[in-house]
Structure 1
């Protein structure tokens, strides 16, 4: 990773394994979550997904079965092979709270968490 990439990345990626589902129009795919941040998710699919850059899906990341899940609209930003990167948009308060706790537990650094939350809210991502 080059220095410009490090400077550009304002959100720490958290490697996390959780049952994840993508919903698009009348389709639904079970996929593997590779990592998550306040900015987006990276997933891997065993089958090619019928999606184009810019398509918006609903991502459901199951933390504890169906009862506790991060649910968010996400826009496909890039794909390579069978890995797909999505930007997270418009998190609801419950999902934001769950994501905040997940990041907090994995970062272990309150200062870093607060910096990431400042970037998140400055970008208007929490609308």
Structure 2
């Protein structure tokens, strides 16, 4: 089977909040990349018809929040897979640093950033 994943994901557990309209769910980030996130499926999960969600991730033992707009791509009984469609400059800076620290390889990070830039140009 061909691997479809284009970005390296890092396993990173952190508390997260999902919002959609008037609804809000507390959940946990399972892994993250420059392009997407994997969250635990929260209790009481009953999303509306809009695929867009506001996601707020709190990095443990810091006051850093990653705030993004994400779209639900896939779900199962345990997880929600989401594509990041918009992220503010502070959040992307923190995310870049988080990935850089976890990859331990600047060349890999730069390749990821170039690929992300290429995707943005194609849209």
Same fold by TM (over 0.5)? yes
- Per the alignment, residue 118 of structure 1 pairs with 114
Given that 2:26 and 2:42 are in contact with CA atoms closer than 8 Å, whether structure 1 keeps it comes out as no
Runs of 5+ unmatched residues, structure 2: none
Q: CA deviation at 1:89?
A: 1.0
5 Å-filtered alignment, 1:61-76, equals 61-64=57-60, 67-76=63-72
Shift of 1:121: 1.2
Deviation readout 1:71-103 (Å, 9 max, x if unpaired): 000000000113100000121111110110010
Match of 1:88 in 2: 84
> Contact 2:20–2:48 (CA<8 Å) still a contact in 1?
no
5+ residue gaps in structure 1?
none
Q: Is residue 42 of structure 1 aligned with residue 38 of structure 2?
A: yes
CA distance change for structure 1 residues 114 and 105 in 2, over 3 Å: closer, same or farther? same
Matched position secondary structure for 1:47: coil
State the TM-score, normalizing by the size of structure 1: 0.86
Counterpart of 1:14 in structure 2 is: 10
Structure 1 position 52, deviation (Å): 6.1
Cα-Cα RMSD: 2.1
